[in-house]
């Protein structure tokens, strides 16, 4: 009987005889990711000559060291000197650290100065500009000198309201000759995990209008990511979904009242409840016929084909993860809270029932003879509370399918009736504030059918687009 490669470093709990026997891999198999945008066998420093590096002693823990580099100077642009003052660590993951830092544009010279308090190795940090007051996040990642950084290459392609933007990047080295890539990104103060935690602390469910607003933006961002050019995020989860919240912005505006202008305040204010997908450390361009690692994505949000050890999968694994996030926002807790890799599959089967032979073939044809206990699917309307709108239940059921090809695409999810309220012309948030822009699509609509576009775009938006096209044609 075949065994499932459910991931490294997990020992399954004792299982009754009716449950499948599994044998776990001791080490995840590395994927061949040195092709195209994924990673290149060439010096990272040689291929990114616009980023200079400075040696920092005690990079892991010592504060107050200076990193100098140069930005700008391309296409006739002047070179700029800017400095970042580290404020605090804001996150940490398997692939890097993120810090909050303060940015300062010093002068139009040949050097870019970074004043950093290295609070923790391999964590993100928040920084703030000493002159402009702009707050940014810097992700510091240990870099293999032989290869390009896949995350950097992908983030340079991204430009979307629902994807965190890359501002600058530079290398830094240590006395141990370790090379670090520093990704300077826009700073968004909260993530979906914190939002859920806030509602749970008050013993409340997230208002349905916010569930719609947040998940719609998640799917809109994924629709863009999957089209640029077929990128798969591979780690969609609440912690990687940043969100601007109104109370946070109010505090931020008050703190910067003296130094900031009213026009800047109004600009930031429009970002209320805007969601941005972040952390492309696991992202990859998926190429048909090329093997990928299956031990990817955080456990609660891992698609079943990954649990079955599939190495040729599609961007539909992101759709499964987003479906898990939708269910979590509706329930206030994870839908599939597996304690380990084996238990994760058990939790999925409890809800979806035992996969059929055909469904197993769609996930991984090597396991069609695998014997499972026969468990009936739990009705979706019983998974959620009685007052849950049927449109929400229907969307969750379309996202969380065993067969990857049966899951709707990100763009199809955006057009689902669950989000029709967002398409109403005069819809407002509970605090009577306007919604962030939701229909300023970019290349996501390329190849979409007219019927899908008509469901996706409100009538008033289609009229505006039509008038705009008529005006362009008249002017030419």
Nearest CA to 398 out of 382, 414, 386 is that of 414
In order of 95, 153, 159, 385, the CA distances from 123 in angstroms are 9, 20, 24, 39
- pTM for the predicted model, two decimal places: 0.79
Give catalytic status of residue 46 as yes or no.
no
Query: What is the C-alpha to C-alpha distance for residues 184 and 160, in angstroms, rounded to an integer?
Result: 17
- Contact in structure between 213 and 435 (CB atoms under 8 Å): yes
- Contact in structure between 54 and 172 (CB atoms under 8 Å): yes
Helix (H, G, I), strand (E, B) or coil at 337: coil
What local confidence, expressed as pLDDT, does residue 147 receive? 81
Q: Which helix (H) or strand (E) holds 146?
A: none
The yes-or-no verdict on residue 440 having pLDDT over 80 is yes
Q: Supply the DSSP symbol for 157.
A: T
What local confidence, expressed as pLDDT, does residue 430 receive? 87
Residue 462 CB: number of other CB atoms within 10 A?
14
Instruction: Tokens for 175, please give them.
Output: 């006395």
Query: What is the C-alpha to C-alpha distance for residues 163 and 327, in angstroms, rounded to an integer?
Result: 22
| Portion of the chain with pLDDT greater than 90, in percent | 47
The yes-or-no verdict on residue 50 having pLDDT over 50 is no
At 254, is the pLDDT very low, low, confident or very high (cuts 50, 70, 90)?
very low
Nearest CA to 234 out of 26, 5, 447, 31 is that of 31
Residue 85 CB: number of other CB atoms within 10 A?
19
What local confidence, expressed as pLDDT, does residue 329 receive? 98
213 half-sphere exposure, CB direction, 13 A CA radius? 24
Mean pLDDT of 211-236: 96
In order of 49, 52, 391, 394, 463, the CA distances from 213 in angstroms are 41, 41, 14, 17, 23
What local confidence, expressed as pLDDT, does residue 81 receive? 56
Q: What is the pLDDT of residues 340-365, one digit of tens each?
A: 988 999 999 999 999 999 999 999 99
Higher pLDDT, 431 or 298: 298
| Portion of the chain with pLDDT greater than 70, in percent | 64
Maximal C-alpha separation, the chain: 74
Query: What is the C-alpha to C-alpha distance for residues 315 and 280, in angstroms, rounded to an integer?
Result: 14
Q: Phi and psi at residue 271, in whole multiples of 5°?
A: -85, 5
What local confidence, expressed as pLDDT, does residue 145 receive? 78
Higher pLDDT, 121 or 476: 476
- Contact in structure between 166 and 187 (CB atoms under 8 Å): no
Alpha helices (runs of H) in 270-420, residue ranges in sequence order: 304-307, 316-331, 341-352, 357-363, 380-383, 390-399, 410-414
Q: What is the pLDDT of residues 265-324, one digit of tens each?
A: 434 444 579 999 999 999 999 999 999 999 999 999 999 999 999 999 999 999 999 999
In order of 135, 325, 391, 450, the CA distances from 399 in angstroms are 36, 11, 12, 22
The yes-or-no verdict on residue 108 having pLDDT over 90 is no
The yes-or-no verdict on residue 26 having pLDDT over 60 is no
Please name the residue that has the structure tokens 């361009």: 285
At 84, is the pLDDT very low, low, confident or very high (cuts 50, 70, 90)?
low
Ramachandran sector of residue 221 (left: φ over 0; alpha: ψ -120 to 50; beta: rest): alpha
Ramachandran sector of residue 140 (left: φ over 0; alpha: ψ -120 to 50; beta: rest): beta
Instruction: Tokens for 445, please give them.
Output: 């609509």
What local confidence, expressed as pLDDT, does residue 397 receive? 98
What local confidence, expressed as pLDDT, does residue 383 receive? 96
What local confidence, expressed as pLDDT, does residue 367 receive? 83
Mean pLDDT of 193-222: 96
What local confidence, expressed as pLDDT, does residue 25 receive? 32
Query: What is the C-alpha to C-alpha distance for residues 279 and 73, in angstroms, rounded to an integer?
Result: 28
At 414, is the pLDDT very low, low, confident or very high (cuts 50, 70, 90)?
very high
Helix (H, G, I), strand (E, B) or coil at 288: coil
Higher pLDDT, 124 or 476: 124
Query: What is the C-alpha to C-alpha distance for residues 350 and 300, in angstroms, rounded to an integer?
Result: 14
Between strands 55-56 and 166-174, the pairing is parallel
The yes-or-no verdict on residue 229 having pLDDT over 60 is yes
At 138, is the pLDDT very low, low, confident or very high (cuts 50, 70, 90)?
confident
Higher pLDDT, 404 or 189: 404
Mean pLDDT of 82-89: 56
Query: What is the C-alpha to C-alpha distance for residues 469 and 476, in angstroms, rounded to an integer?
Result: 11
Mean pLDDT of 119-136: 59
The yes-or-no verdict on residue 18 having pLDDT over 90 is no
What local confidence, expressed as pLDDT, does residue 74 receive? 59
Higher pLDDT, 32 or 133: 133
Please name the residue that has the structure tokens 């544009």: 105
Nearest CA to 100 out of 186, 193, 192, 197 is that of 186
Nearest CA to 221 out of 369, 321, 125, 292 is that of 321
Helix (H, G, I), strand (E, B) or coil at 226: helix
Q: Where are the beta strands (DSSP E) in 218-266?
A: 231-232, 241-243
Query: What is the C-alpha to C-alpha distance for residues 78 and 140, in angstroms, rounded to an integer?
Result: 26
Kindly name the residue from 33, 48, 177, 235 that is annotated as catalytic. 235
Q: What is the pLDDT of residues 230-253, one digit of tens each?
A: 899 999 999 999 998 754 444 444
- Contact in structure between 238 and 460 (CB atoms under 8 Å): no
Q: What is the pLDDT of residues 360-384, one digit of tens each?
A: 999 999 887 778 889 999 999 999 9
Query: What is the C-alpha to C-alpha distance for residues 468 and 461, in angstroms, rounded to an integer?
Result: 10
Residue 394 CB: number of other CB atoms within 10 A?
15
Mean pLDDT of 58-66: 42
Query: What is the C-alpha to C-alpha distance for residues 99 and 185, in angstroms, rounded to an integer?
Result: 10
How does the average pLDDT of the chain come out, rounded? Answer: 77
The yes-or-no verdict on residue 131 having pLDDT over 60 is no
């Amino acid at each position: 009987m075949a065994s499932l490669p459910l991931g490294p470093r997990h020992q399954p709990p004792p299982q009754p005889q009716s449950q499948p026997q599994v044998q776990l891999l001791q080490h995840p198999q590395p994927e061949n990711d040195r092709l195209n945008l994924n990673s290149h066998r060439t010096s990272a420093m040689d291929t990114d000559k616009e980023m200079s590096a400075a040696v920092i002693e005690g990079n892991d823990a010592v504060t107050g060291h200076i990193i100098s580099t140069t930005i700008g100077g391309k296409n006739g642009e002047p070179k700029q000197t800017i400095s970042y003052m580290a404020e605090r660590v804001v996150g940490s993951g398997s692939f890097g650290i993120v810090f909050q830092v303060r940015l300062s544009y010093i002068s139009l010279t040949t050097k870019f100065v970074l004043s950093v308090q290295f609070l923790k190795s391999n964590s993100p940090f928040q920084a703030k500009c000493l002159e402009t007051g702009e707050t940014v996040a810097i992700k510091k990642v240990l870099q293999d000198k032989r290869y390009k950084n896949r995350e950097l290459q992908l983030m340079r392609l991204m430009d979307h309201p629902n994807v965190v933007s890359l501002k600058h990047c530079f290398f830094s080295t240590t006395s141990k000759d370790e090379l670090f890539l520093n990704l300077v990104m826009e700073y968004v103060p909260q993530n979906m995990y914190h939002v859920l935690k806030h509602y749970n602390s008050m013993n409340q469910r997230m208002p349905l209008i916010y569930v719609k607003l947040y998940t719609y933006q998640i799917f809109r961002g994924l629709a863009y990511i999957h089209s640029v050019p077929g990128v798969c995020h591979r780690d969609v989860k609440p912690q990687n979904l940043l969100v601007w919240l109104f109370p946070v912005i109010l505090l931020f505006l008050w703190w910067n009242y003296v130094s900031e202008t009213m026009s800047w305040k109004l600009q930031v204010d429009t970002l209320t409840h805007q969601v941005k997908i972040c952390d492309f450390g696991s992202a990859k361009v998926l190429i048909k016929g090329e093997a990928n690692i299956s031990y990817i994505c955080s456990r609660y949000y891992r698609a079943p084909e990954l649990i079955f050890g599939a190495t040729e999968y599609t961007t539909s694994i992101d759709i499964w993860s987003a479906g898990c996030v939708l269910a979590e926002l509706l329930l206030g807790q994870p839908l599939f809270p597996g304690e380990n890799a084996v238990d994760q599959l058990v939790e999925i089967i409890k809800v979806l029932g035992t996969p059929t032979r055909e469904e197993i073939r769609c996930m991984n044809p090597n396991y069609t003879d695998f014997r499972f206990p026969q468990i009936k699917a739990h009705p979706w309307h019983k998974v959620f509370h009685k007052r849950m709108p049927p449109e929400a239940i229907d969307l969750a059921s379309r996202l969380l399918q065993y067969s990857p090809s049966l899951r709707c695409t990100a763009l199809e999810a955006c057009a689902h009736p669950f989000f029709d309220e967002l398409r109403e012309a005069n819809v407002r948030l509970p605090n009577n504030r306007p919604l962030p822009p939701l229909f300023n699509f970019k290349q996501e609509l390329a190849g979409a059918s007219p019927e899908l576009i008509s469901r996706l775009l409100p009538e008033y938006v289609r009229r505006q687009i039509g008038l705009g096209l008529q005006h362009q044609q008249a002017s030419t």
